[in-house]
Structure 1
């Protein structure tokens, strides 16, 4: 008797006996019948397979949190009680944040597809590119800095930050009635959720945090891309330049692509928004005068 000859209600249970996401993916691709019966696993099963040590989804829980951070932020800004809940959870660390994020927005197959693409198309290639100059590989050359030991983790934290606080980053150049999450919440996220590579007292003087490095390299890259000069730029333009490249995974994808001709669609959209505002005579200065976002 073949596996596909079993009743449909039995085939639906097969994924619960698997150990990894790779097993589930292979099962879906086996044949038409198994694809139809296994392509809609529930969020609990997906989470168990994603967290399996055999799946190797590292860094955990940061990668899963990254793919859910934007939905978590959108939920938090809808109500003051949600903001308080998120702030309290941030103080408990990344694992508590992931639990809250999955309560707000359960894990889906599409989430895992996006996560897989981000991991293998962006995070890992980016870390490999940066490793010889900014990571552990840089130790071979005394003239280069070692920024941190775990480049993928630092890039993932950068992605989380951009998505979790995307309302704050886009507020100065987007018309919205949404009040961004406060600065104190951003500081607490850095304090409780972003690990240091080693105790501060043991750090060498030439070591810098990759999170800070990514912030600055994104700024400098987009200035070159858009032809923005710091001496002649308006306050609005400078603020926009800072935020345009804090779009999360699209910003990191651009660093991997190494070319304006492959500028991610999200960044292109932000550029058009800014150009329309400038064309309409809105320089955004009035916003900055009364808002510290």
Structure 2
């Protein structure tokens, strides 16, 4: 029996037997019959096929596909305390465990994949290059680096593309928690501070976190010797990702463009606490928010950013503060990656 003589119901089952997304796209493009049959493939199956090709078509692996699906997993986790604990357990076992959870709980359409690949050229690559020029090899290649070649000379171990996706994933996961803080009357579900710390410590790993195992200096409690910190030879135990993230968010080359963007929306707030919320809320939009940094991006996002700023101008509730470590570093009940990354690494400072 020829393949195309099979009933459509059977043709629709073929993706379940394919090896990867390349097989899916190749077979789908052979004829109209298969293209039509494959159009109804569930997003969960498309994601599984994409995951099988993640080392080839979705690099950096697994950050690319985690960024594409983290928002869905975050929404799933907020549905119940049990789901939230499953997400936290995935965080503590590192980015690969979070990837496995994304594959199990999320899905992608082919349109989603096409949008992600378009974003690679329009926003991901340019912003990654921006990070490389402020904290990567391009930055270190500046002549006379340590003797005035750059204004913020510092020892940073940064892989720009990975750092960018770590930043994007934080936004995808926790933007809804910012909205919950800004609109308390809506009683929206949100992730607490400890959940955000779990993501940073284990999915943006740093050798300082490994050093804190059994000797907590940050006030966060002992890190667990699992996931990226399973042994001294584990990748996370020798990583500098946490420090790199803090440095990027502290860097003038990162903050000056965002300051110029905010000033196109409205003047800076006089109250320091309100201004800090505005700084974080303006850039906490995950992958889509990278558009704001590109030419014409402010115009596209003007209405949304204006709405956020207006909301911040009207809120009367100051953020709740928790303090950590010997120096009582503050963190708030809204997402603030800069402060949270600093706290996770702060045990290295006297």
| TM-score after normalising by structure 2 | 0.66
- Please tell me whether the aligned partners of residues 171 and 286 of structure 2 are also in contact (alpha carbons under 8 angstroms): yes
How many angstroms apart in 1 are the aligned matches of 2:270 and 2:55? 54
Does the 8 A contact of 1:90 with 1:97 survive in 2?
A: yes
> Of the candidates 224, 227, 236, which is equivalent to residue 274 of structure 2?
236
Secondary structure of the residue aligned to 1:98 is: helix
Offset of residue 155 of structure 1: 0.5
Superimposed CA distance per residue, residues 218-248 of structure 1 (whole angstroms, 9 cap, x where no aligned partner) = 6543332232665735632431222211111
Are the aligned partners of 1:86 and 1:97 in contact in 2 as well (CA < 8 Å)?
yes
Equivalences for 1:79-228 in 2 at 5 Å? 79-141=80-142, 142=145, 143-144=149-150, 147-175=156-184, 176-196=186-206, 209-216=243-250, 219-227=255-263
2:285 maps to which of 247, 252, 269: 247
Who is 2:63 aligned against? Answer: 62
- From the superposition, tell whether residues 150 and 22 of structure 1 become closer, same or farther in structure 2 (CA, over 3 Å): farther
CA distance in structure 1 between the partners assigned to 2:121 and 2:81 by the alignment: 37
Q: Is the 8 A contact 2:46 2:108 kept in 1?
A: no
Task: Give 5+ residue unaligned stretches, structure 1.
Answer: none
- Superposition deviation, residue 91 in structure 1: 1.1
Equivalent residue number for residue 41 of structure 1 = 41
Q: 1:59 to 1:71 in 2, by over 3 A?
A: same
Distance, in Å, in 2 between the alignment partners of 1:81 and 1:199 is 27
8 Å CA contact 1:247, 1:267 repeated in 2: no
Residue 51 of structure 2 corresponds to residue 50 of structure 1: yes
Q: How many residues align?
A: 282
Asked if 2 retains the 8 angstrom alpha-carbon contact of 1:22 and 1:55, the reply is no
**Change in 2 beyond 3 A, CA 1:126/1:93:** same
Describe the SS at the equivalent of 2:57: coil
TM-score of the superposed pair, with normalisation by structure 1: 0.76
Rounded Cα–Cα distance in structure 1 between residues aligned with 2:289 and 2:247? 14
Match of 2:307 in 1: 272
Query: 5+ residue gaps in structure 2?
Result: 208-234, 323-331, 334-350
**8 A Cα contact 1:151 1:210, kept in partner:** no
Higher mean C-alpha displacement, 237-246 vs 3-12:
3-12
Q: Is residue 123–residue 290 contact of structure 2 (8 Å, CA) maintained in 1? A: yes
Alignment-derived partner of residue 297 in structure 2: 262
> Once superposed, what is the RMSD of the aligned Cα atoms?
3.7
